[in-house]
Amino acid sequence: MRAAVRSLAFALLAAAAAPACSAQGAPPAEHVGSARSAPARPPQQRKVKLAVIGTSDLHGHIDMLPALAGHLANLRASGEVDATLLVDGGDLFQGTLESNPNEGAAVIAAYNQIGYAASAVGNHEFDFGPEGERAVPGPGDDPRGALKARAAAAHFPFLAANVIDSATGKPVAWPHFAPSVMVERAGVRIGIIGISTESTPHTTMASNFAGLSIAPLAPTIADEAARLRGRGAQVVVVTAHAGGRCRDLDDASDVASCEPDQEIFQVARALPPGAVDVIVGGHTHSGVAHEVAGIAIVQSFSGGVAFGRVDLVVDPARRRGAVLERHIHPPRFVCGERAAPRSDRDAEPAACRPSPYAGRPVAPDAKVAAVVEPFVESARKQRDRQLGVVVDAPVRRAHGQESALGNLFADLMRASARDADVAITNGGGLRADLPAGPLTYGSLYQAMPFDNRFARVRLTGAQLGHIVATNLAKDSGIFSLSGVRATARCRGAELKVTLQREDGRRVRDRDRLVLLTSDFLATGGDGMMAGLELPDGAVRLDEGATIRDALAEVLRARGGHLSGDDRHLIDKRAPRIALPGPRPVKCK
């Protein structure tokens, strides 16, 4: 099935191939550092109104893109602005049945049709690893093969100014990648810089990120912006897979509802005044529509539910100080206004009823719809498959604390392998609740959208205790346990964890255990393996079925009913992980 869907995606990409031009007939983007020089242009006296449009964290939800393209068509035809610039903040591919089987080729085909100018590289862009069926690279495999193949098919560059090749100490120099790019809209020269969150090495498959590092964001942006300004950029836009979080999105000048320590806000405050005009953020799946340190920052949730917009009034005759005015719009929800998306997948295509935009009703773009429809239809058939289980009450997820869903998945993992003493899954891998009603493969997929495989780790009780203690001391996703219960206590400044098997026997430090987990965690994700000194051969990766498909088979065989209220899954009086205080646990 995966091979067939991938072939379909590649065929559509080939059919859609065309000269790489942006919307409104602008010439191809000029990568900074190229030998080409821009032709001389006469000065223009008329002020230009430019709309910077930003999306991020699509995570494969291509069914939302016809409505997005319909909004853009309205704006371009309205006369409200002279030009638009469309950029993405990364995490384009990973997460849906429409995109994962073809490793994101469906997204590229749709983005080419819509007319993106550039995209940042998100942490999950590295998840697919080598092109093809392998999840992690083997001998001779390119660990970035799938990502490079997607970039080669794109009509826009991938920007990765702070993704550093450890061998050269410089930004990656792969084909179709660049630190920044220069484009022109309505006579205005615009520099676009792409950067990735500093957490990238720990939030993707470590084996696929080997040989790379992440440079600090603010100094990288400042240096790249200075180069762009020196080359004549009148506007500088950063597309960032790094984000913020605000609750009130109606007043751009009121940042009281914004969390000040969020990564992109720290970056904005650290930049030299005037270096950057607009930042399109991502990664945190939240909303931002604010001015911070003199920079317009927009971010529009995830799953394609919304886009951000900043209008700039620019004087093309000026080289410096060309931006005269700006207006930051609240996020625009493409399927109708609402306070915030309910989940990463907020609306099915049939439920998408956009309100009028730019003075006219919004019609889904027919060409974009034609590109995505084969993938949407294929995914629908898989999504509707029944697993023979009825969920009586929703099984809830939680990122930072014990949850019924995390415990259920850990139990199902251990049930799928008779040789495992313990199973661990991570809170960051839980992306949706299991809803009440007959359980479908689609609901399971939404809850576990990553194509991770199993890994077995042979370790001691002391090492397992270290894993749990280290996780509890951080504010990342919690590790859910099956096969043992953990009690954490402070002994002076040290957090100590004791473990008990399900029958009550204590796990001793020297006990030998087989831990079943994901390849993501076993290869360094979420820092799970930090501080462990394991012998060669202690970690064994499985290239078989995905964990999700293995869980589906266990559920089919088991049948019956599930309930998020089942005390076996979550019991506050007898938690699987007993803590001395809230996470992150701090011992004095």
Does 336 have pLDDT greater than 90? no
- The answer to whether the pTM exceeds 0.75 is yes
Query: What is the pLDDT at residue 137?
Result: 85
| pLDDT tens profile 208-243 | 999 999 999 999 999 999 999 999 999 999 999 999
Residues constituting the chain? 588
* 3-state SS record for 266-290: HHHHHCCCCCCCEEECCCCCCEEEE
pLDDT, averaged across the chain? 91
Beginning with the edge strand found earlier in the chain, give each strand of the sheet holding 560-563 in spatial order: 437-440, 386-393, 560-563
Residue 418: predicted pLDDT:
86
Residue 493 pLDDT > 80: yes
* Residue 170's CATH number: 3.60.21.10
Same domain, 373 and 391: no
More confident residue, 559 or 39: 559
Q: Is pLDDT above 50 for 357?
A: yes
Domain limit, last residue, from 330, 359, 379: 379
Inform me whether the pLDDT recorded for 348 exceeds 80: no
The answer to whether residues 403 and 353 belong to one domain is: no
Same domain, 348 and 406: no
Q: Are 224 and 156 part of one and the same domain?
A: yes
Could you tell me whether strands 163-165 and 48-55 are parallel, antiparallel, or unpaired per DSSP bridges? unpaired
CA–CA distance, 374 with 381 (Å, rounded to integer): 11
For residue range 6-37, list pLDDT tens digits in order.
Answer: 555 555 554 544 433 333 333 344 444 333 33
CATH number of the domain at 449, please: 3.90.780.10
Per residue in 422-437, pLDDT (tens digit) is 999 999 999 999 999 9
Do 429 and 342 share a structural domain?
Answer: no
Let me know whether 325 and 408 are in one domain: no
Domain boundary among 358, 379, 400: 379
Tens digits of per-residue pLDDT, 412-421? 999 999 899 9
**Residues 507, 459 share a domain:** yes
Q: Which two tokens stand for residue 300?
A: 């529009």
Look at residue 110 and tell me if it is in a domain.
yes
Count the Cβ atoms, other than its own, within 10 Å of residue 13: 21
Quote the longest CA-to-CA distance of the chain.
82
For 434-485, what is each residue's pLDDT tens digit? Answer: 999 999 999 999 999 999 999 999 999 999 999 999 999 998 999 999 999 9
Domain hosting residue 146, numbered range: 2-19+45-379
- Does 320 lie in the same domain as 404? no
369 with 401, same domain: the answer is: no
pLDDT for the residue numbered 22: 35
- d(CA 117, CA 107) in angstroms, rounded, equals 15
Q: Are residues 461 and 363 in the same domain?
A: no
Q: Do 432 and 503 fall within a single domain?
A: yes
Residue 32 CB partners (closer than 8 Å, separation 6+):
178, 179, 180, 181, 182, 191, 224, 227, 228, 231
Residues 486 and 460 in one domain: yes
Per DSSP bridges, beta strands 48-55 and 306-314 are: antiparallel
Q: Which of residues 345, 379, 413 is at a domain's end?
A: 379
Q: Are 478 and 584 in contact (CB under 8 A)?
A: no
351, 335 contact by CB (below 8 A) = yes
Strands of 83-88's sheet, edge to edge?
Answer: 177-178, 158-159, 118-120, 83-88, 48-55, 306-314, 323-333
Q: In the chain, how many domains are there?
A: 2
401 within 8 A of 476, measured Cβ to Cβ: no
| Angle formed at CA 276 by CA 270 and CA 281, multiple of 5 degrees | 80
Place of tokens 């969020």: 262
pLDDT higher than 90, residue 394: yes
45 pLDDT band, cuts 50/70/90, is low
pLDDT at 369 over 50: yes
**SS3 assignment, position 87:** strand
Predicted local distance difference test score (pLDDT) of residue 341: 43
